């Protein structure tokens, strides 16, 4: 990557991005294209330290738009999972209600309805490979930081200390940077998902593997939902969603580190479902409970002179398909504010970004909150709405 001349606002400034997810890596790429001095501090020991999770779809007016701005569309096209954007919806008895595999024509790049899927690990690699060597600093779990004059001394758990003129928190929903920006806490949405990973579904639950068939799979019935997505390595990620009281993970008495205990709970909870779903649960070696929290839609804070947030660290919301896309849009907006030449100082640039970011997050967060109960506890009416929505999307593909 050729390094362009640095813009005046960032001249001689060291930028620290804490968190090496899609948002943080995208921001680093966009800033480096403008010649900025940026480091990404990631707690993982290496790029290969852990599986990054299931697939993620990028949207025409957000994720794909940002990949284009970052000069990475060709790399994305070389790594996306063709056909994984299709949906298959069944009832609790595994009867197919909608199957986008049957559609003759599917939209492609350049169509606003096309939402290509990519493995999260593959997306991460595309972004990392586009950065200057040494940009990502591994084994840097954030510990604390202190402001010294106009700079930050950033301390990490391994004992190292680095300095930065600007700090950007891209460290997710449990952000350790966020308390330096605001004390606004998250609220509970009313829904909790149990996430599971199946490493070899083709062998351990072949009927499920065949049913998913490399697509976004959703099963709904009796006020319950199971969603499944393929991973780039051939595995499956699944989510069992339901409405639960706040702190249910603790009060349930389930030891979520014990796969047999979680299986017993899921087998009882979904006892009236087709038994093939039980083979899915049985094939899972570990589960993760995830209460779905969100930051208040009307949140506001006083802009700081040299620190801000992007992605879930800024505007956590229930899953809606917008998380990664919104984080990447945050990265684009912040990079443009910092490098576009329209502001006299960094504070004003950050303020303009935060105003734009929070307004967008409030709108998307409202949509996510309205949709999460239909997902976690679907009624017959909400299932029918989903069928109509998927049919409409299919018609847009033709």
Confidence band, pLDDT 50/70/90 cuts, at residue 398: very low
Query: What pLDDT, on the 0 to 100 scale, is given for residue 383?
Result: 78
Residues 15-53, buried b or exposed e (16+ Cβ, 10 A)?
Answer: bbbbbbbbbbbbbbbbbbbbbbbbbbbbbeeebeeebbb
Residue 240 bridge partners (DSSP): 194, 226
Specify burial of residue 360 (Cβ count, 10 A radius: 0-12, 13-18, 19+): middle
Query: What pLDDT, on the 0 to 100 scale, is given for residue 396?
Result: 45
Query: What pLDDT, on the 0 to 100 scale, is given for residue 280?
Result: 96
Rounded Cα distance between 85 and 55, Å, is 9
Query: What pLDDT, on the 0 to 100 scale, is given for residue 297?
Result: 94
Per-residue pLDDT tens over the stretch 235-264: 999 999 999 999 999 999 999 999 999 999
Query: What pLDDT, on the 0 to 100 scale, is given for residue 103?
Result: 62
Query: What pLDDT, on the 0 to 100 scale, is given for residue 43?
Result: 93
Rounded Cα distance between 302 and 330, Å, is 18
Are the C-beta atoms of 58 and 120 separated by less than 8 Å? no
**Which element (helix H / strand E) includes 370?**
helix 346-376
Q: Look at residues 162, 179, 135, 168 and name the one whose alpha carbon lies nearest to residue 306.
A: 168
Confidence band, pLDDT 50/70/90 cuts, at residue 102: low
Q: Look at residues 374, 390, 391, 380 and name the one whose alpha carbon lies nearest to residue 221.
A: 380
Per-residue pLDDT tens over the stretch 150-185: 999 999 999 999 999 999 999 999 999 999 999 999
> Does position 395 have pLDDT exceeding 50, yes or no?
no
Nearby residues of 101 by Cβ (< 8 Å), 6 or more positions away = 86, 88, 213, 215
Query: What pLDDT, on the 0 to 100 scale, is given for residue 51?
Result: 62
Percent of the chain surpassing pLDDT 70: 93
**Which element (helix H / strand E) includes 355?**
helix 346-376
In this structure, of 114-118, 122-126, 199-203, 380-384, the range with the lowest mean pLDDT score is 380-384
Per-residue pLDDT tens over the stretch 292-332: 999 999 999 999 999 999 999 999 998 876 789 999 999 99
Query: What pLDDT, on the 0 to 100 scale, is given for residue 131?
Result: 98
* Mean confidence (pLDDT) of the chain: 90
The mean pLDDT value for 193-208 works out to 95
Per-residue pLDDT tens over the stretch 341-360: 889 999 999 999 999 999 99
> Does position 397 have pLDDT exceeding 70, yes or no?
no
> Does position 52 have pLDDT exceeding 80, yes or no?
no
Residue 242 bridge partners (DSSP): 192
Query: What pLDDT, on the 0 to 100 scale, is given for residue 319?
Result: 81
Q: What is the dihedral of CA 262, 122, 90, 293, to 10 degrees?
A: 50
Confidence band, pLDDT 50/70/90 cuts, at residue 392: low
Query: What pLDDT, on the 0 to 100 scale, is given for residue 2?
Result: 46
Per-residue pLDDT tens over the stretch 32-50: 999 999 999 999 888 776 6
In this structure, of 8-22, 172-186, 366-380, the range with the lowest mean pLDDT score is 366-380
Query: What pLDDT, on the 0 to 100 scale, is given for residue 265?
Result: 96
- Counting every residue, how long is the chain? 398
């Amino acid at each position: 990557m050729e390094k362009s001349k640095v813009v005046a606002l960032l001249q001689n400034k060291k930028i620290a991005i804490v968190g090496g997810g899609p948002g943080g890596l995208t921001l680093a790429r966009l800033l480096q294209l403008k010649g900025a001095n940026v480091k990404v501090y990631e707690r993982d020991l290496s790029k290969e330290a852990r599986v990054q999770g299931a697939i993620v779809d990028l949207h025409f007016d957000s994720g794909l738009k940002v990949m284009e701005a970052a000069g990475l569309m060709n790399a994305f096209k070389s790594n996306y999972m063709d056909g994984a954007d299709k949906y298959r919806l069944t009832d609790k008895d595994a009867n197919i209600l909608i199957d986008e595999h049957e559609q003759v024509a599917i939209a492609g790049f350049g169509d606003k309805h096309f939402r290509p899927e990519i493995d999260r690990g593959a997306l991460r690699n595309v972004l990392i490979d586009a950065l200057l060597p040494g940009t990502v600093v591994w084994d840097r779990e954030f510990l604390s930081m202190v402001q010294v004059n106009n700079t930050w001394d950033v301390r990490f758990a391994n004992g190292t200390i680095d300095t930065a003129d600007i700090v950007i928190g891209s460290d997710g929903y449990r952000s350790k940077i966020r308390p330096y920006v605001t004390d606004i806490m998250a609220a509970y949405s009313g829904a909790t998902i149990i996430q599971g990973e199946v490493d070899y579904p083709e062998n351990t639950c072949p009927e499920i593997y065949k049913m998913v068939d490399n697509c976004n799979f959703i099963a709904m019935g009796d006020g319950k939902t199971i969603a499944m997505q393929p991973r780039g390595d051939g595995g499956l990620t699944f989510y069992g969603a339901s409405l639960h009281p706040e702190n249910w993970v603790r009060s349930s008495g389930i030891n979520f580190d014990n796969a047999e205990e979680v299986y017993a709970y899921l087998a009882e909870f979904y006892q009236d479902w087709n038994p093939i779903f039980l083979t899915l649960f049985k094939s899972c070696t570990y589960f993760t409970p995830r209460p779905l929290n969100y930051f208040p839609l009307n949140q506001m804070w006083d802009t700081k002179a040299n620190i801000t947030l992007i992605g879930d660290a800024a505007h956590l919301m229930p899953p809606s398909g917008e998380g990664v896309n919104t984080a990447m849009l945050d990265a684009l907006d912040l990079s443009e504010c910092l490098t576009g030449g329209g502001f006299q100082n960094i504070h004003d640039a950050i303020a303009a970004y935060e105003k734009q970011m929070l307004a967008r997050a409030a709108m998307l967060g409202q949509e996510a909150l309205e949709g999460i109960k239909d997902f976690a506890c679907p009624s017959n009416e909400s299932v029918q709405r989903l069928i109509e929505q998927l049919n409409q999307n299919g018609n847009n593909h033709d």
